[in-house]
Each structure stands twice: as C-alpha cells, then as structure tokens.
Amino acid sequence: MSVVRDLILQADDQLRYPTGGELRSMVEFLSTGANRLSVVRILTDNEKKIVDEASKQLFSRKPEYVAPGGNAYGAKQRAQCLRDFGWYLRLVTYGVLAGSTELIQKIGLEGAREMYNSLGVPMPGMVESMRCMKEAALVLLSQEDAAVAAPYFDFLIQGMQTPC
C-alpha cells in the first residue's frame, strides 16, 4: 500500500529489522511527502477541469462514441463515462499519496476489463480516455510534479491494455 508499509512488512516476514538500504528508501519516500501532497491537491482541486478537458479530447478524437449507438451517446451514458474518469483520477491520486500502484491495481484494474467487456465498453476506448485524462492532468502540473504523477497514469493505461 505504501513504501513504508511494504518495507516494514517485508522485514517482519523475514523476522528482522529493516536494512540500511530499506531505511534510506523510507527516508527518501517520507522526504517527498510534501511534493506528493502538492500533486494530489492540484489534481483534486482541478478534477472537473481535468475530466472536462479529457472528455473533450476523447470525443473529438473518437466522435463515434457520442454519436447515436456509441457508448457515450445520451446524457446517462455520457454521465457514467465522466463518472469513471473522475473515479480513475481519484485512484491515481491514491497511488501518488501511497507511492505505490497497489491500490490502482486492486481497485481499478482487477475486474475492470471483465466489467467493461460485459457492459460492451471497448477497452481501446478506455485506454484512450485514460491517455486523454493523463494529458489533461499533466498540463496543470510543473515538470517536476508531472514526473511524480505520470507513472501512475502510465500504470493505469498499461493495465488496461494488458489482456486478461
């Protein structure tokens, strides 16, 4: 769930104290806490802007999604699509806070492919929507902050591309 938790559990499983290297990893993780919190605050404060921009990008690239018969055609379907954008953005913020992709994997990827397939939502469309969300989010961050957030978006995108 987080670097500190994982390192402690690993040492405990082996009935030992954390090594010097593990302690240095913890210090590094803890020293970046203010920066990670700043990234999360920017993403959280701009959720609507990010979701709006990402959906604008997606639907301009894939107009068939909002055309009659498309998966985001109609107010209800579009609202559900935008809800999912916000949900995945929140998962990215959890990853940034924890310094781990574990929550993204457990909450956002396990079972997502099956769910979207059962609903008839094309996975390539979900992948493209996450790329759009990444682009919309990263332009709001400094280069340093974008480097913190980007790997979590990339993990999500890669996880959606990977076959079951």
Tens of each residue's pLDDT in the chain, 164 residues:
578 888 999 999 999 999 999 999 999 999 999 999 999 999 999 999 999 999 999 999 999 999 999 888 999 999 988 999 999 999 999 999 999 999 899 888 887 877 887 877 888 989 999 999 999 999 999 999 999 999 999 999 999 987 65
79 shares a domain with 127: yes
pLDDT at 49: 98
Domain count, the chain: 2
Domain that holds residue 1: 1-31
42 shares a domain with 22: no
List Cα–Cα distances, 44 to 93, 100, 154, in angstroms: 8, 18, 18
Give just the sign of the alpha carbon dihedral 83, 92, 109, 51: positive
List Cα–Cα distances, 111 to 1, 106, 117, 164, in angstroms: 19, 9, 10, 9
